[in-house]
């Protein structure tokens, strides 16, 4: 079975993949008429005729593994707790910011009263 490298992670892979596939195909021509290629993107199997260089058959892969409901619930709880933590931290920063502003305002007010 011929495994095609993922060209999205390495753009040069597309060109080298063609050359490797072609050279492997030449060696396969001598042995078999049909060979298999595994696609890492969609996890499909392709059967290619070495003489005509056409796809004879394809079989869709499983694709991404489906996560269980428990995994999704844990992920959602984690996301919610992280959101709550960030919200509380932001609220605390706003509170401190308001206190500093009020302190500066009182300081500026006392300075203007002293000048009068």
Instruction: Report pLDDT digits (tens) over 46-82.
Output: 888 878 888 888 888 765 567 788 999 999 999 999 9
Total structural domains within the chain: 2
Please write down the HEC assignment for all residues of 53-114: CCEEEEECCCCCCCCCHHHHHHHHHHHHHHHHHHHHHHHHHHHHHHHHHHHHHHHHHHHHHH
> Chain-centre distance of CA 66, in angstroms?
16
Indicate the pTM of the whole model.
0.39
Q: Is residue 39 located within the same domain as residue 76? A: no
> Chain-centre distance of CA 70, in angstroms?
21
Q: Is residue 75 located within the same domain as residue 108? A: yes
Distance (Å, whole) CA 13 – CA 9: 8
Average pLDDT over residues 6-22: 45
Q: Is residue 54 located within the same domain as residue 71? A: no
What pLDDT score does 85 carry?
96
Q: Name the residue range of residue 94's domain.
A: 67-116
Q: Is residue 52 located within the same domain as residue 73? A: no
Percent of the chain with pLDDT over 90: 35
Q: Is residue 35 located within the same domain as residue 72? A: no
Q: Is residue 32 located within the same domain as residue 49? A: yes
Q: Is residue 105 located within the same domain as residue 73? A: yes
pLDDT per position as a tens digit, 32-46: 678 888 877 777 888
Instruction: Examine the fold and report which residue of 40, 59, 78 is the final residue of a domain before the chain moves on.
Output: 59
Q: Is residue 72 located within the same domain as residue 30? A: no
Instruction: Examine the fold and report which residue of 59, 85, 104 is the final residue of a domain before the chain moves on.
Output: 59
What pLDDT score does 63 carry?
54
Instruction: Examine the fold and report which residue of 17, 42, 59 is the final residue of a domain before the chain moves on.
Output: 59
- Spatial CB neighbours of 51, under 8 Å, sequence gap ≥ 6: 29, 33
Q: Is residue 8 located within the same domain as residue 42? A: yes
């Amino acid at each position: 079975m011929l495994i095609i490298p993922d060209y999205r992670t390495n753009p040069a892979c597309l060109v080298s993949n063609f050359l490797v596939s072609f050279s492997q195909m030449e060696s396969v021509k001598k042995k078999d008429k049909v060979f298999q290629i595994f696609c890492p993107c969609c996890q499909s199997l392709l059967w290619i005729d070495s003489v005509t260089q056409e796809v004879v058959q394809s079989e869709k892969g499983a694709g991404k593994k489906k996560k269980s409901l428990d995994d999704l619930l844990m992920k959602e709880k984690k996301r919610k707790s992280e959101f709550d933590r960030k919200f509380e931290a932001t609220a605390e920063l706003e509170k401190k910011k308001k206190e500093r502003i009020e302190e500066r305002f009182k300081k500026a007010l006392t300075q203007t009263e002293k000048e009068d």
